[in-house]
Structure 1
Amino acid sequence: MAAKFEIYQDKAAEFRFRLKAGNGENILASEGYSSKAACQNGIESVKKNAADDDRYEKKETASGGFRFNIKAANHQVIGTSQTYKSASGRDNGIESVKKNAPEARVEEVDS
């Protein structure tokens, strides 16, 4: 199974996307958007920025987990990862976005 972006509406009726790896694991999730078009623009921004190392912000959580954000050229966060148990897991997540996002298909799903 290939990686894909899923667009869905949350309980607040905002549009969100998530990037899923070929194995079905969530790699990246977006903020809420007021329109589907804005959400689709967010996906295009992830695809465009995925290969650029400078677009990734590596973080450590207060509980000792590891996450990352991908940012657009204007420094807006366009996607946030799940929490990983190790820095190497987080770094593998970044590599997965780089590899999978540019060619991932987009589909709409129920939340």
Structure 2
Amino acid sequence: MQFELYKDRQGEFRWRLRHANGNILATSSEGYKARASAVKCIDAVKASADVPVKELK
């Protein structure tokens, strides 16, 4: 898996998490004007890897 950081059509930074098979597993919910803000969001997602799953009914 890898995170991909890119600029969208509006020139804002976005990210996506891509599986080794090419499928997109997650994407940023918004664009960021600053690259550092997008990287900070990626870091937050990476840090939450140990967060438990809550099943909603």
Runs of 4+ in structure 1 deviating by more than 2 angstroms, as ranges, are none
Aligned partner of 1:35 in structure 2 is: 34
The structure having more radius of gyration, on CA atoms, is 1
Q: What is the total number of aligned residue pairs between the two structures?
A: 55
TM-score, normalised via structure 2 length? 0.85
Gaps of 5+ in 2: none
Kindly indicate which of the two structures has a greater share of residues assigned to strand: 1
Q: How does 1:1-111 map to 2 (within 5 A)?
A: 3-30=1-28, 31-53=30-52
* Deviations 1:10-65 (CA, angstroms, capped at 9, x unpaired): 001110000001101000000211111100001000000122026x686xxxxxxx
User: Please, which runs of 5 or more residues in structure 1 have no aligned partner?
Assistant: 59-111
